[in-house]
Each structure stands twice: as structure tokens, then as C-alpha cells.
Structure 1
């Protein structure tokens, strides 16, 4: 039951982001918003993941991990409803609430995996990240269809609150049926060492942040890039969905294999190289082979599953996992939060996509370096 609750919760941690990206052009037109506002909207998830995610260990200490994850899902559900009620500021505010909930769950669910599935970390992490990828795919591919069926982007986006509400109920049931289990317990034990003085913790953090830079630019901006190149809005949403769904089989297969070995370094570099090739393709000729570019970028973004795996494998205890997860996602998403905004700003300043994509390519190369270092078998 707990495993099912983890997967269902994970399924809800990406549609709030990818659903908005798939109808961003319609939102801008309806609200009279600028590219800078759109950049702020696409930056909001990463920024909130950084700020709210850093509080997750403290929240878990106060109300227990099970209660903290339940609170996270409640915030997500509320935010999904709030953000469709009014204009530009309300959209940003509702997105802030929803992504605050996602931030808490992002940090704490890997701790549940570490403590409740000790002998199956790679397998459960693969299922968890596979569900994340599937949720992202559904958000981008289904939302344009919901938009058409319900008569606008507002009911289309609000529909996702139903799924998160179901996840909240299932999570509460799973915690109640496992009294004394790690998912319902208080803050897990920690060695007490400050990770801010650990070079390895900073390497893991930079790796996590750099892979998130690519992910949030893709989720926030790639549909608009394809639309500008002549791809229809529906097809652009499906391409973003393809990017997310590509990560599903990779996330199910690669983490268990990489987790059994001593090092994950070359797995990380190999997946990132696919992403680099896909970004080059979109920069040079987005409409020439959009499906191929989507597949390559999807493979590159699948390195996220290994980013979560390294967080679990580089820590000895559940408490250290919580602190490393909070540090990596707090500082990492703070770095990632800046990039979608800079991407949109550079597009506004240059009137083209080349310069923003060149910036993104540099970040992917740096990600490979820190990912290689993070994948080596050591402990923080």
C-alpha cells in the first residue's frame, strides 16, 4: 500500500508544471501577459522548490514524514484550484502554493524510499521517477485535450486537482495502515554532520541543479519553441509528452542497474550526452526532426532518476538522506530557478532562440562533469 501511495504521489509532482507549459501561449493571450511574465511563471517551480524544499526536514521533524507528505499533497491540490480563479497575479500565487507542496514531497519521498524499502532502493526509486515522468507526460499531452473538451485552459488545468486529491486520500490511508512505519514516523536519525562543509554534498547539489536547469527550460519553453517553428499547439504538447514518457522505461531500468554497481558516473554521462545532442537539434533545426529531438532530450532528462539515486546512495542514514535531499533540491532548484527566466529574457533581448540554447548547452556540459563526480561510490 505504501509503495502504491509513493507511486501515486509521484504521478502528481509534474503535471502542475508541464500542464501549464502546454497551454502557455493561450494563457498569455487570454491574460495579456508578456514573455517576461511567462518566464516568471516557468521560473516559479524551481524557485519554490528551492525555498520550500529546504524547509522539508524541519517540517518532517515537527509533524513526521507521513504528515509532512500529506500536507504537501494538500498544498498541491489547493494551489491547482487557486491558480485558475483570476488573472496574472493569482496564476502566479496559485502556482506558488502548488509548487510549495511539490517541493516538500520532492525532498521527503526519497527518505520514505530510503527507510521503508532499504533493500530495494534502486527499484523503488525507478518506479518513483518513472511515475514522475509519466505524470509529466500526461500533463503536457492531455491538458490541451482537456482544454478543448472543457472550453478553456482554466478548467483544463484545474482538472489535475482531482488526481492530486485522490493521491492525498491514498497517502493518508497508507500511513494509517502502517502504524510505527518510517513513513509515519518522526524525523529520521542523522549523523549530525554539517553537509555544508562536505565537498561531495556540494557536488551532488550542483549535479542535481544542473540537470534540473535542462528539465525546467524544456517543460516551460520547448512547446513555444516548436510552435514558433511551425508545429501545431497540439503536436507541441504531444512532443513534450513524448519527452516525459521516454524517461519512463529508462527510469524503470537504469536506476536498478546503476544502483547495483559501485559507480553511476558513466550512466550519468551517457544519458546527458543524448540530451546535449537533442538540444543542438532543436537549436539548429527544430522543425526538421522534432520527434528525434524529443526522444534525445527525453533520454537526456532521464538522468533525473540517477540524480535521485545518487542522493540515496551517497548518504549512510535516513537522516543524512533527508538533509542531503533538502540541500541538493534546495540549492539545486535555486540554481535551476534562474535559468528558465534567463532563457525567456535572452529570447526577448535577441528576438531568437539561438543564444538561449547556447547557454543551455554550456550548462549540459557542466552537468556531465559534476554528474560524473557525483556518481562515484562515496558517502557525505
Structure 2
């Protein structure tokens, strides 16, 4: 359990630590174009590399695949502090490739090692993942300032990946080559698998939009940049207990669609509140968005709850995350375009409410009781 949580702590550190120093890197000569590439690398890796996870899993197994993921994270974090923008971009791509692989494999690890505690472990690692994200954002600049070098602020997190690798190493086992494997095409033909995938896509889109644009919405409502950032941080912190509890509840429910409806309603109320009274209820809207974001661990739990084995879980996780992140990647861009074209946030909020409606519909399909039927090799 400790090893899994240490791995989860590393699954956003490379991204938020870089974001915390991005403006400072611009002052040091990293061009705006390079900064744009750096912000696009994570979601592209999540989609592209995540799609290759099953090829690795079938060759070396889920447990050993996770060691490979941690090795990529540590190597990438070390590489990107070498001199020059190419090393920074390449290192970020390598680290995010490891994160993408870890994203896919962790649900399968939970399925294999904690089959009777799926809800508890999914909630725990989701909460720790968010905690790691917050630590990376909050601690990177102070570390860099104390050391007098931005490289120290970024490079220190490689130690966290190494620590997780040491903790996980004893649990690596070579996969039994005779164990049945899911025939890849079967999931792609499953309406339930597609419902899980679209659920993951809609919640990812909302999360990326919130992280990208929520401070700007509050700034336009008259808040200072500092207070707008504090409101975003508050949303993340308030979400942590919901991230832990939601998958535990999901395991106990016969139909998880009701839970998706409840959480999506909180998200929708948050967007509506920001639309009609962004200043008057600022803290409440931030809290609602943070709590509603717990659809994320529910979707992760469904990877295990709707499948029969760790290999099946990894296959569904690969499909949902590769396609889901790809679909979600355009969300922040589209919101920005709508805002620039209209001069207000109204069209963007209408789009987000439409995605909330889609999320409820696919949530009811994805949350039905039973397992996905899969063909086998």
C-alpha cells in the first residue's frame, strides 16, 4: 500500500513543478514557443504513450511495467535540468511518458493486489496524486530560491521517483505468459467501454478547463491574481476528501450512475454560479467544483469494477485514458477561443454545462452493474 501511494505521489509532480517555474524560465531565455510546447507535452504523452501501455504489459507484466514507468519519470526529471531548452523539452517528454504509463498501470495494480479494497485504494491513491500535484506547485519555487537555482527546484523531484521505485521493486513479478489476454478489438467494440472512456474524457475536460481558466474567471470578476490562485488552490484542497470517499461509495453501490449524477450536479452548480454571480459566491463555487471533480476517482474505480482481471483492467485503462485525454486536450483551447470571440465567459459556461449533461448520460451507462464481456486470445 505504501509503495502504491508513493508511486501515486509522483504522477503529477513533473507537471506542476514545471508550471510553477514556467514564468521564471521565460526570464531565463526559454522562448514563448518553447513554453507553449512544454504545456502541451503532458496531455499529448498521456494520449499517445498511454495507448502503447498494453504492448509493454503483455511483454513484461503490470508490476514490472510500473518500474519502467518510474525509471522514465526519474530519468526525465534528471534530463530536463541539463543545460538548454532541448534538454528541458526532451526531459519533460520522457518524464511525462513515464507518468502516462503509470496512469494506465496503477488501476491494474489495484485490481491485482487489492481486489477486495478497490474503492479504498483508488480513493487513497487519487487523493495522494492530488496531494503530490499540490506539493509540486507549492514547494518548487521555495526550493529553487533556497538553492539559488531553478535546476534544483526541478531536479529534486527525481528523488521522489527513485524512492517510489525502491519501494515498489520487491513487488515486481514476471507475468505468467500463459495467462489469458484481452483481445484488443473486443473493448473497442463494447458500448460500456466507450461509456467509461467518454466519462473519463468529460471529467478530464472539466478538470483541465478548471486548472487552466478558473483563475482567469475570478480575475475578470475583480479578484487579484493572488486571490484567484488561492481560490483554485482551495478548490483542489476541498476536493481531496471527496476524492478519497467517492470510489469507496462507488464500490458499495449497485448502480454507480447515481453517484456520477450527484457529483456532476455539484460541478454544474459551480459553473452556473460562476456564470451568474462569480464574485458573490466565489468560495462556494470553488468548493462545488472541487467536490464535483471526484468523478475522476470514480472513473478510475470503474476500470477495475467493470473488468474481471488485472489485464482487462489495464486494457480498459489504456483505452479510456488514451482516448479520453486526447478528447479532453482541446477543452481549454476551445474555452479560450470562445472567450476571446465573445468577450465573456457565457459561451464557455454553456459548453461546460453541455459536457456535464453528456457526463451524466455516459455515467449511467458506465455505472451499470456487471462486467464487460471480453474476447480472449
Tell me if both proteins adopt one fold, taking TM over 0.5 as the criterion: yes
Distance 1:206 1:99 in 2: 22
Closer/same/farther in 2, CA of residues 261 and 18 from structure 1, 3 Å limit: same
Aligned partner of 1:361 in structure 2 is 353
Aligned partner of 1:12 in structure 2 is 10
Aligned partner of 1:190 in structure 2 is 181
Aligned partner of 2:244 in structure 1 is 252
Q: State the Cα distance separating 1:162 from its structure 2 match.
A: 2.4
Distance 2:308 2:155 in 1: 40
Aligned partner of 2:45 in structure 1 is 48
1:189 is paired with a residue whose SS is coil
Distance 2:368 2:223 in 1: 41
Is 2:196–2:366's contact at 8 Å kept on the other side of the alignment? Answer: yes
1:13 is paired with a residue whose SS is coil
Give TM-score scaled by structure 1 length: 0.85
Aligned partner of 2:319 in structure 1 is 327
Closer/same/farther in 2, CA of residues 280 and 335 from structure 1, 3 Å limit: same
Aligned residues: 370
Match of 1:312 among 299, 304, 313: 304
Deviations 1:4-62 (A, max 9, x none): 1111101111222333444544445555655x766654433222111111111111122
Q: State the Cα distance separating 1:300 from its structure 2 match.
A: 1.6
Q: State the Cα distance separating 1:223 from its structure 2 match.
A: 4.3
2:111 corresponds to 1:114:
yes
Deviates more, 1:227-236 or 1:198-207: 227-236
Distance 1:315 1:210 in 2: 21
Question: In terms of Rg, which structure is larger?
Answer: 2
Give ranges in structure 2 of 5+ residues lacking alignment. Answer: 373-377
Distance 2:229 2:143 in 1: 12
Deviations 1:312-365 (A, max 9, x none): 111122221111111111111111122233344555666665544443333233
Closer/same/farther in 2, CA of residues 61 and 191 from structure 1, 3 Å limit: closer
Is 2:63–2:171's contact at 8 Å kept on the other side of the alignment? Answer: no
2:61 is paired with a residue whose SS is helix
Aligned partner of 2:375 in structure 1 is none
Is 1:144–1:234's contact at 8 Å kept on the other side of the alignment? Answer: no
Aligned partner of 1:135 in structure 2 is 132
Is 1:22–1:237's contact at 8 Å kept on the other side of the alignment? Answer: no
